[in-house]
Structure formats: structure tokens, C-alpha cells
């Protein structure tokens, strides 16, 4: 013969354990997603630095360079 009180208690305990298990799995999944996101961000940072070559410095037009040179000559020096 089944004990109705024991059955009721076991059903309640099973429901409580199921809820706790669901919450723990949800937290584990959130932590995994956080880690995946962080690893992705770090990979992007590493590869972005590796693929970004510095742009060559823009050379001033000849007219600007000649004007600066003439001002230096008039001022009496190269600096």
C-alpha cells in the first residue's frame, strides 16, 4: 500500500529539485555565453591589431613644403 503523505512529499521534493536544477543549468549557460563572448572579443582584438597596418604619413604638397622652406631660409635656419 502506498503512503499518500510520502508520495506528496516526494513529489514536492522532486519539483523543488527540478527547479533548482533548471536554475543551475541556466546560470551555467549564462556563464558559458559570457566566456564565449569574451573569447570572441579577445580574438577580434588580436586579429584586428595583426591586420591593421599603419597608414603611410600624408606627404604635404610641394607648394606647402617650398613655402615652409622659404620661411626657414628667410628666418635664417633649418629648424
Q: Show me where the domains of the chain are located.
A: 4-75
CA 49 to chain CA centroid, nearest Å: 14
Instruction: Give the Cα separation of 47 and 49 in Å (integer).
Output: 5
The pLDDT of residue 14: 92
pLDDT tens digits along 34-68: 999 999 999 988 888 777 777 778 888 989 988 88
Report the SS3 class of residue 76: coil
75: nearest Cα among 67, 59, 62: 67
The pLDDT of residue 48: 83
pTM: 0.46
- Quote the cell numbers at residue 11: 513529489
Amino acid at each position: 500500500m502506498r503512503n499518500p503523505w510520502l508520495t506528496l512529499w516526494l513529489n514536492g521534493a522532486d519539483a523543488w529539485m527540478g527547479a533548482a536544477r533548471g536554475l543551475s543549468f541556466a546560470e551555467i549557460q549564462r556563464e558559458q555565453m559570457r566566456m564565449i563572448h569574451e573569447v570572441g572579443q579577445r580574438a577580434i582584438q588580436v586579429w584586428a591589431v595583426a591586420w591593421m597596418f599603419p597608414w603611410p604619413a600624408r606627404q604635404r604638397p610641394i607648394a606647402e613644403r617650398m613655402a615652409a622652406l622659404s620661411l626657414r631660409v628667410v628666418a635664417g635656419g633649418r629648424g
